[in-house]
Amino acid sequence: MDSPSRMKEAYAKAVAAKRRQVWLGLLVLAVAVLLAGRVAEISPSKFLDNIGSFTSYFYRIAHLESGQWVISDPVEWFWGWKKWLALMGETLLMAYVGTVLGACAALVLCFLASKNMTHNNWVVFATRRLLEFARTVPEIVFALIFVVAFSLGPLPGILALAIHTTGALGKLFAEVVENVDMKPVDGVLATGGTWLHKVRFAVLPQVASNFASYALLRFEINVRGAAVLGFVGAGGIGQTLLEVIRKFYYADVSALLVLIIGTVMVIDALTEQVRHRLLGQERGA
């Protein structure tokens, strides 16, 4: 057989093998989807029956009790704005306090979790597993448990946010610390500096702006998180949102959603500006 036709044959074989793999994958996926549909009690007929009520739900939350569009009477729409703004403020404050607590804990733990600063492998391993646990358990599960231990209110919510933040930031911080330039560390060590001197004068100046940027990013995420912690009684605006959704106060639902989304967008925009300036500073230095 001449070589072009052999090549053609090999090509056809390779394509066929690839096709077979794709079909096999699709078959497995199809079986999984059918099984999942059965387990999750999905029925297309139920969906089609209800899709109308979904659109009508949005129609309803866009209208006041009087039947007017919500936009036509903003005062009536945001009738509870004083109470709601106070709750939103509480939510932001929860996110702030939780982020600060978590960032402080992460700041301490990240040096123990990075191999270039801590030479005891057991300490590194244990700290990393601890951080992993703190960020794998969803914060709302922590909040559920803390609500039982600390009773209702913002305190359990803040602690839940703080623990989750410690886990998430601790990992990111440790990665930054492991990537620092070690020459300043050697320099401090050579002049007789202690471990704390190394951290303060050799590592922190290199990582501070990165840390601040990560902490701000986490603050954004925590604002979203704090807004729903009230669902389990852990303070903030979530409790009120849960009530108005469950009690079918349609116009209030949209008002609260607009308030939450608006606040989140403003916070995102502000922190993004600050973060750009922080990172720019680092590049300039």
Partner 1 sequence: MSTPLAQGHFVSGQTQQALRTRYPQHFQAVYQGRVRAILLALLAVLFFVYGVHSLEMSYKRIVGGLGELGSMVLRMIPPDAGSWPQAASFGYAMLETLAIALLGTLLAAIAAFPLGFLAARNTTINRVVKFFARRSFDTLRGIDILIWALIWINVVGLGPFAGVLALFMSDLGIFGKLFSEAIEAADQKPVEGVLSTGGSSVAAVRFGILPQLLPVLFSQVLYAFESNTRSASIIGIVGAGGIGLILAEQIRTLELQQMSFVILMILATVSVIDYACSRIRFSIIGVRAL
Binding site for partner 1 (CB under 8 A): 29, 32-33, 35-37, 39-43, 46-47, 50, 53-54, 57, 90, 93-94, 96-97, 100, 136-138, 140-141, 144-146, 148-151, 153-156, 158, 188, 191-193, 196-197, 200-201, 224, 227-228, 231-232, 235, 241-242, 245-246, 248, 253, 257, 260-261, 264-265
Q: Position of tokens 């925590």?
A: 222
CB of 283 to partner 1, least distance (A): 16
Residue 51 C-beta: closest distance to partner 1, Å: 9
* Minimum CB–partner distance for residue 4 and partner 1 (Å): 22
CB neighbourhood size of 110 (10 A): 26
- Angstrom distance (rounded) from CA 271 to CA 227: 18
Report the run of H or E that residue 232 belongs to, with start and end.
none
3-state secondary structure of 42: coil
Q: How far is CA 76 from CA 159, 237, 257, in A?
A: 36, 20, 16
16 vs 32 by CB, closer to partner 1 = 32
Considering beta carbons, is residue 74 or 138 the nearer one to partner 1?
A: 138
Task: Tell me how far apart the alpha carbons of residues 234 and 277 are, in angstroms, rounded to a whole number.
Answer: 34
| 64 vs 155 by CB, closer to partner 1 | 155
Shortest distance, position 118 Cβ to partner 1, whole Å? 20
Neighbours of 58 (CB within 10 A): 11
